[in-house]
Structure formats: C-alpha cells, structure tokens
C-alpha cells in the first residue's frame, strides 16, 4: 500500500489495484492518421514503458516510432501516430512495466 506509516498502527494507505495493462482506445483523426488514448494512474506513469513499432509488411522487421505520450487529463494520456509515408503500415503497440 502507498502512503502508510509502518510505525503507526492507525495509518491506512490507499490500495492501488492493477488488473492488467491499460485498454488503449484507437481513434482515426485524419486520412491514415490515428490517435491512441489510455488511462493510467499519474502517480505510476514513470513506471510504464509505452512504444509503437511499425512495418510496411508483415514479413519485414518492425521499427520503433519515436513518440512521447502527452497528458490530456487526469490519468489520461495520448499519442498521435504520424500518417504512413507509404500505402499501408502494420503497427505493434507494446506496454510494459519498467
């Protein structure tokens, strides 16, 4: 538990329950452009690795897209994927704890 005092038997903290990775909402914002939105407790944002990888075909290797999540509300983050420079792109979204 967070914010408890081990020396005080009457001190109770707030339990943070994590049931898995955040659900990521995908919104189309323009032609071939997408926005990813998710919720994660701000207090633990520095403990989360978030990355997006892209490839032009499933047989080719995926490369990382440099993105920085932006805080858009309490515990709410988003990134906007750049439009693909070629016809189609395949994306892989990874979320993990540091």
pLDDT at 1 over 50: no
* Alpha-carbon span 30 to 25, nearest angstrom: 16
Q: pLDDT digits over 7-65, tens only? A: 776 666 665 555 677 889 999 987 778 899 998 888 888 888 889 999 988 888 999 99
* Alpha-carbon span 86 to 94, nearest angstrom: 23
Contacts of 37 (CB under 8 A, 6+ apart): 24, 25, 27, 72, 76, 77, 78
Half-sphere exposure of 63 (CA within 13 A, CB side): 7
Chain center to CA of 46:
11
Domain ranges of the chain: 24-97
CATH superfamily, domain 24-97, is Immunoglobulins (2.60.40.10)
């Amino acid at each position: 538990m967070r914010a408890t005092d081990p020396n005080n038997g009457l001190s109770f903290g707030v339990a943070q329950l994590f049931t898995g990775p955040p659900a990521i909402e995908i919104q189309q914002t323009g032609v071939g452009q997408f926005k990813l939105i998710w919720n994660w407790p701000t207090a633990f944002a520095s403990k989360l690795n978030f990355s997006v990888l892209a490839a032009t075909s499933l047989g080719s290797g995926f490369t990382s897209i440099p993105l920085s999540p932006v805080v858009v509300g309490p515990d709410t983050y988003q990134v906007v994927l750049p439009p693909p420079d070629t016809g189609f792109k395949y994306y892989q979204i990874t979320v993990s704890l540091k």
